[in-house]
Each structure stands twice: as C-alpha cells, then as structure tokens.
Amino acid sequence: MVTGEFWKRHSLRARDHQHTKASELTVRGSLFPLCLVTILFFLWGFSHGLLDTLNKHFQNTLGITQVRASGLQVAYYGAYPLASLGHAAWILRHFGYRAVFIWGLFLYGLGALLAIPAVIHESFGGFCVGIFIIGNGLGSLETAANPYISVCGPPKFSEIRINTAQAFNGIGAVAAPVLASYVFFSGFDDETASKNVQWVYLAIACFVISLAVVFFMSELPEITDADMELQAASHGDTAIVRDLPFRKQYRLFHAAFAEFCYVGAQLAINSYFINYVTSTRPGTDSALAAKFLAGAQATFTIGRFVGVGLMSFIRPRLVFGVFMSMCIVFTVPAVAGRDNWGIALLYLVLFFESICFPTIMALGLRGLGRHTKRGSGFIVAGVFGGACVPPITGAVATVRGTALAIVVPLCFFCVAWTYALAVNFFPCYRNILDAFSSIEGH
C-alpha cells in the first residue's frame, strides 16, 4: 500500500534556500547518482547519432533536398532554448534536478511514440513534430544533467566528471549509425527501412519511460542554490569569485555564445558527414558512409577518454585550448579534401571536438554559485546553434558541393575559439577558473 510517507520520501520538490550537503559529497558518495545520470548522456548521444543518419535516410526515401532534410536539425535543436530557458528551467528552479530528469524522459518517450505514425504515413513534417518534442525532452535532460554532473562531488574534479559522462554520450553516438547502417541502409527497400525506423522508436519510447520510473523511485541527492552559493564561497578565493548579479555574469554569456557557435559547427559536420563521404569518395554508398560516420564517432569517443586522461594532470582550460585550436587546424584542409584523406581529416576534427562541449559547460558554470541553475539553462540554450548552422551548410552544399560547404562550420569554430583564448589568456577568466582547479603548481 502506498502511504503518505512514500510520497514524502519521493517528493520532486527541493527547497532552494536549504543546505542539503549534496554538493559536499565525496567521490565515493557521488558514485551512484553520477552513474544513474550518466545513462542520460548515452541516450541523447544515441539520439544525436540517429538523427544524423535519418537525415540521409529521408533524402533517399522521400527524395528531399539537403536543405529540407536539415529541417530535422532545426526541429531538434530549435527545441533546446525553449526547454533550457523555458519549461525545463522553470521546473529546475521550482522543483529540482530529479523532476527535470523525469519530465525530460517523459517528453522523449512521447516524441518517439508520435514519430511512429509520421513514419507510417511518410509525413516528413509530422516526423519533424515528433523530433521537436524529443528535442524538448533532451533539452530538458541536458539543462539538468550537465550542471548536476558538474556540481555533484568535489569541485576540483568538475571537468573530469562531465567529460567522463560525456564519453558515454559518444558511445551512444557510435551505436546509432552502426545500427542505422544495418537497419536503414543495408539492402532494404524503402518500405522495410521505414518499418525498421518505427520499431527503433518504439523501443526507445519503452526504454525511456521505464527509466523515468527508475528516476522517480531513486533517492537522488538534490543540489540547491544554497549549496552552490556555499560551495563557491568555500572553494574559491572570495577576492576573485564575487557574488555578482546575474546580468553581470559576462563570462557565462561568452560561454553560452561559444557553445552556440561550437555546437552549430560540430553538428553541421556530423549532419553532412555522410554526404561529404559519398560526394568526395567515388563509389561509396550511404550504407558504407554510415559506417564511416560510426568510425568517426568512435574517434570522437576516444578523444573524450584521452581528454579526461590529460585533464588529470594538465589544467582543463589548457587542454580545451589545444583541442579547440586543432579543430580549426584540421577543418581548413578538409574543405579541399578528397577520397580517404579528406575523411581522415574529418576523423581528426571529431577527435578534437570531443571535449569542447562539456568543457565549455563546466568552465562556464565555474564560480556562478547561486546562479548555477539559471546559468546552465543559458549554456544549454547554445545548442540552438545546431538549428542554425546545418541549414546554412546545407544551402551552400546544394549550390557548391558538400566539401566547400565545410567552410561554414569552420567560420563558427573560429568564433568559438575566442572563448578558448579568453579562459587561457584573460586574467578575469583564468583566475576564477584556477581558484577551483585540482591541479596545483601548474
């Protein structure tokens, strides 16, 4: 029998003015909540990877252009600011992290179920609606999961925790195109491939709704604004880390803009990776190109683990600066890339992209104190770049070819690079980050 004590113990409302000591958890004490939340990173990595292959699948089955196919990215990533600055942000501030996790999983499951009839009736617009709802769900999950991973445990390991969790995002991104290469492209006619898409989304819906139940039953430690204010005061130099009004958190806004540019560039490359391979490597079909994409995503995942290893003994801001710079260095020749060496260059780009998103997130939240929850919404809203840059890239690709269209993400990489320069060379950025650093004497 469900009693009042049960509902009280599993209440979704957290009181932000109270200290819960959750932000003071040790590495061992934070292990269970971190493992549970890390499952969410795998889920949206899988969803991202699946979206990139569905882009090409709909070009093949519905005969639509690259520009129109980018509507998937617009629907998916366009939902992120609506979630991170709207409904998810409101739930996070008035209830807590666990409530947002459950809400996001519910929307993810709902969108997956709505995508099924759209596939049956070959309605690209209807499928985009389902994807938009999934984007709202994943935007909600990212609004809560990224800051939760960053602040749940000792602050000095923040970047290492979030990059480790994001590595499982990469594993999901690898699994999706591998699955798609066999389920969507491997010798199936269009009708069979569409039926396979339906079964994939039904399985996703069942899994995420079950996971929402697990989150409701689990007693995850909540982290309140009071906890974060205390953490900022106790771990940072108060002469450096000041409690400024939200409107004066200029470092946060720079991080959010850098995230917008970086995510836009990353997703433009991912979205048109299959097109790039089929157009620059003669004789390559979509099935083989999807396997190349899976290999590139594997390289991306390896880069995450390499980055975590480097951050164990090198300041995270320095690792980020090098990786962001290398993205630009290897994207430049990829514009003229042909055959295997062009693909190899994009593999290197994905390797160095690996740590950029989570590290911008972790560095941007550093020292925000009571503004952490609200700040996370702004940085996650930067994912909206994924709705803006791929259509521009698709328009250029339609007119001038996919290889030359790589110039578009290159330009956005260069703008995102300004944040990497700031955190390493501007004292007003660098000193705050180093006040929380786990690396002494560097």
pLDDT tens, the chain, 442 aa long: 556 665 566 666 666 556 566 656 666 767 788 888 888 888 878 887 777 666 666 666 666 666 676 777 788 878 888 888 889 989 988 888 889 999 999 999 999 899 888 878 878 788 888 889 998 998 899 888 887 887 777 777 777 888 788 778 778 877 777 777 676 656 656 677 677 778 888 888 898 999 999 988 887 777 766 666 665 555 554 444 556 777 778 888 999 999 999 999 998 998 888 888 888 888 888 778 878 888 888 898 899 889 988 988 888 899 999 999 999 999 999 888 777 888 999 999 999 998 998 899 888 888 777 777 788 888 888 888 888 898 899 889 888 888 889 999 999 999 999 999 999 999 888 887 777 654 443 4
The CATH number of 22-435 is 1.20.1250.20
Q: Please name the residue that has the structure tokens 């000041």.
A: 242
Give the residue among 46, 76, 77, 55 at the shortest CA–CA distance from 272.
Answer: 55
Rg, the chain, Cα only: 21
Torsion angle, alpha carbons of 235, 237, 238, 242, to 10: -90
Q: What is d(CA 91, CA 157) in angstroms, rounded to the nearest whole number?
A: 27
Task: Determine the pLDDT at residue 121.
Answer: 82
Which ranges in 218-281 belong to alpha helices (H)? Answer: 225-235, 250-271, 273-280
C-alpha distances in Å from residue 190, one per residue of 62, 74, 128, 181: 9, 24, 19, 14
Q: Provide DSSP, 58-71.
A: HHHHH---HHHHTH
Which residues have CB under 8 Å from 135's CB, separation 6+?
75, 76, 77, 78, 79, 80, 83, 111
Tokens of 139: 């935007």
Tokens of 308: 């975590």
Tokens of 79: 């939902």
Q: What is d(CA 275, CA 281) in angstroms, rounded to the nearest whole number?
A: 10
Helix (H) or strand (E) holding 170: helix 158-183
Q: What is d(CA 68, CA 74) in angstroms, rounded to the nearest whole number?
A: 10
CB 177 within 8 A of CB 52: yes
Other beta carbons within 10 angstroms of residue 355's beta carbon come to: 30
Q: What is d(CA 404, CA 334) in angstroms, rounded to the nearest whole number?
A: 9
Domain residue ranges of the chain, discontinuous segments joined by +: 22-435
Q: What is the pTM of this model?
A: 0.75
Q: What is d(CA 60, CA 73) in angstroms, rounded to the nearest whole number?
A: 17
Q: Provide DSSP, 326-364.
A: HHHHHHHHHTT--HHHHHHHHHHHHHHHTTHHHHHHHHH
Q: Please name the residue that has the structure tokens 């005061």.
A: 233
Q: Provide DSSP, 233-250.
A: HHHS-TTTS----GGG-H
Which residues have CB under 8 Å from 109's CB, separation 6+?
137, 204, 205, 206, 208, 209, 212
CB 127 within 8 A of CB 115: yes
